[in-house]
């Protein structure tokens, strides 16, 4: 089946808004759920060596990648990421309202990549590149606000860990999540879901 169309429809349907909003909220809840699965061990190690903590930066960028890959329209990454950030605010988080600043930056990278490709390509490489660029923006912000006194060498370690995580956890992970969701038939209303079903 050929589902590619030459001119992508860039206006938001109701189902785009609602499904991506609900998915982002659910991802926010999943992050809360990780409290009992991954974080306790990770927190202990990374509290003393924050550069390693950047390896989990990608988790926070997941909603942006999932939003962009699912909806394929301008603003999809930002919309999903802001909602997930709001869930964090509601359920209690580490950094307070500044997550709204970080989440805008974490959405910016992937937004720019899909815009650059004119909303025509949403494959695994686009996802990884978007995740990496989003992570880059976030790390630069963190250089100024969280870790200004690091030596250049440790800043580099910090940067590399963050960007790898953006590409792998957010990019590859987000792509795999949308694909797995598509295979279950839950997102048949979206091109991403239909492509996962036919391939």
Partner 1 sequence: MSHNLGVENLTVLPHLATGPVLRDISFDVPQGQRVLLLGPSGAGKSTLLLALSGVLANLQTAEITGRISAEPAGLLLQNPLDATVGYTVFRDVAFGAESAGFPALTISELVSKAMTDVGLDHIQSDRPPQSLSGGELQRMCLAGLVALSPKVLLLDEPTAMLDAESAAQVRLAVEQYLLSSGATAIIAEHRFDVWVDIADRIIVLGTQGNILDDGPTNRILQGYHHQFLNWGLWVPGESAPALESAIPTTHTGKITALIGPSGSGKTTVLNAKLQELLADHGPTDLGWLPQNAGFTIAGPSVLASAGGIGKAEQLLADLGLEKHSLQNPHDLSGGEKRRLALASALIDEPKYLLLDEPTVGQDRRNWALVVNQILTAKTKGAQILLATHDAELIELCDEVQQLETSPRHVNQVGTAGSLSVSPFGLLGASMILLAGSWLINSLAAALVSFAVMFWLVLLVALFGGFKGWRPSSLKILLPAVIGIASIAVSNWWLSANHQWEPAAITALRVGFFVLPGVLLASQINPAQLADQAGQLAKLPARPVVAASVALQKVFDFQALWNQQVLVRKVRGLTKSNRLAEAGALTLGLLIEATRSATQVAIAMEARGFSATDSNGKRIKRTWAVPAAWGSRDWLLLAGAVASAASILLVR
Give dist(CA 62, CA 59) in Å, integer.
Answer: 5
As given in the structure block, the two tokens for residue 89 are 């605010």
Q: Which of 10, 45, 90, 115 contacts partner 1 by CB under 8 A?
A: 90
- Tell me which DSSP letter residue 134 carries: H
Q: Which of 30, 55, 112, 136 contacts partner 1 by CB under 8 A?
A: 30
Q: What is the per-residue binding string for partner 1 in 121-140, x denoting contact by CB under 8 A? A: --------------------
Q: Which residues, 137 to 176, sit near partner 1 by CB under 8 A?
A: 145-152, 154
Mutual angle of helices 76-91 and 99-116, in 10-degree steps: 160
What is the CA angle 160-42-165, rounded to 5? 25
Q: Is 34 in the site for partner 1 (CB under 8 A)?
A: yes
| Residue among 38 and 115 whose Cβ is closer to partner 1 | 38
Q: Which of 8, 10, 22, 125 contacts partner 1 by CB under 8 A?
A: 22
Residue found by looking up tokens 């999540």 in the block: 177
Q: Is 74 in the site for partner 1 (CB under 8 A)?
A: no
Three-state DSSP class for residue 123: coil
Q: Is 28 in the site for partner 1 (CB under 8 A)?
A: yes
- Angstrom distances, CA of residue 62 to CA of 7, 9, 48, 110, 127: 27, 24, 25, 11, 10
Interface residues with partner 1 (CB under 8 A) are 12-15, 17-19, 21-30, 32-34, 37-38, 41, 43, 46-51, 79, 82-83, 86-87, 89-98, 100-101, 145-152, 154, 177, 180-181, 183-189, 194, 197-198
């Amino acid at each position: 089946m050929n589902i590619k169309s030459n001119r992508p429809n860039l206006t938001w349907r109701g189902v785009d808004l609602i499904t991506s909003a609900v998915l982002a909220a659910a991802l926010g809840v999943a992050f809360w759920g990780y409290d009992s699965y991954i974080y306790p061990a990770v927190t202990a190690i990374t509290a003393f060596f924050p550069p390693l903590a950047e390896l989990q930066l990608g988790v926070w960028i997941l909603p942006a990648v999932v939003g962009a890959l699912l909806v394929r329209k301008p603003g999809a990454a930002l919309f999903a990421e802001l909602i997930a950030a709001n869930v964090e605010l509601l359920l209690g988080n580490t950094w307070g309202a500044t997550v709204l600043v970080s989440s805008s930056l974490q959405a910016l990278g992937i937004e720019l990549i899909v815009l650059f490709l004119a909303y025509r390509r949403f494959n695994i490489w686009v996802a990884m590149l978007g995740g990496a660029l989003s992570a880059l923006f976030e790390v630069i912000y963190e250089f100024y606000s969280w870790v200004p006194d690091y030596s250049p060498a440790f800043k580099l370690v910090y940067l590399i860990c963050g960007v790898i995580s953006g590409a792998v956890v957010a990019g590859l992970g987000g792509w795999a999540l949308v694909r797995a969701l598509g295979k279950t038939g839950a997102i048949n209303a979206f091109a991403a879901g239909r492509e996962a079903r036919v391939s």
